[in-house]
Chain A
Amino acid sequence: MAITVRYFASLKESLEKSEDEISGSEDAPLSAKKVWQIANPEKQLPENILVAINMDYATLDDLVQDGDEVAFFPPVTGG
Chain B
Amino acid sequence: MQVKIYPEDFDPFLEIQSYQKQLSDIAGSYGATSIFIGTMRDFSDGQHVEAMTLEYYPGMTEKQLQKFIVEAQQRWQIFDALVVHRVGLIAPDQTIVLVAVWASHRGDAFDASRYIIEALKSKAPFWKKETLATNEERWITENTNGYLQKKD
Main secondary structure of the interface of B (DSSP, over half): mixed
Known: A8-B127, A55-B63. Contact between A78 and B56, CB under 8 A? yes
Please give the distance in Å from B59's CB to the nearest CB on chain A: 5
Interface residues of B, CB < 8 Å — how many? 28
Chain A residues closer than 8 Å to B128, beta-carbon distance: 77-78
* In-complex Cβ contact of B85 among A52, A57, A75, A78 (8 A): A78
B134 beta carbon closer than 8 Å to chain A: no
Residues of B bordering A, CB below 8 Å: 38, 54-57, 59-60, 63-64, 85, 96-97, 117, 120-129, 139-143
Are B123 and A76 touching (Cβ within 8 A)?
yes
How far is it, in angstroms, between the C-alpha of A48 and the C-alpha of B88 when the chains are bound? 24
Number of interface residues of A (CB under 8 A): 16
What is A's interface to B at a CB cutoff of 8 Å?
Answer: 6, 8-10, 52, 55-57, 71, 73-79
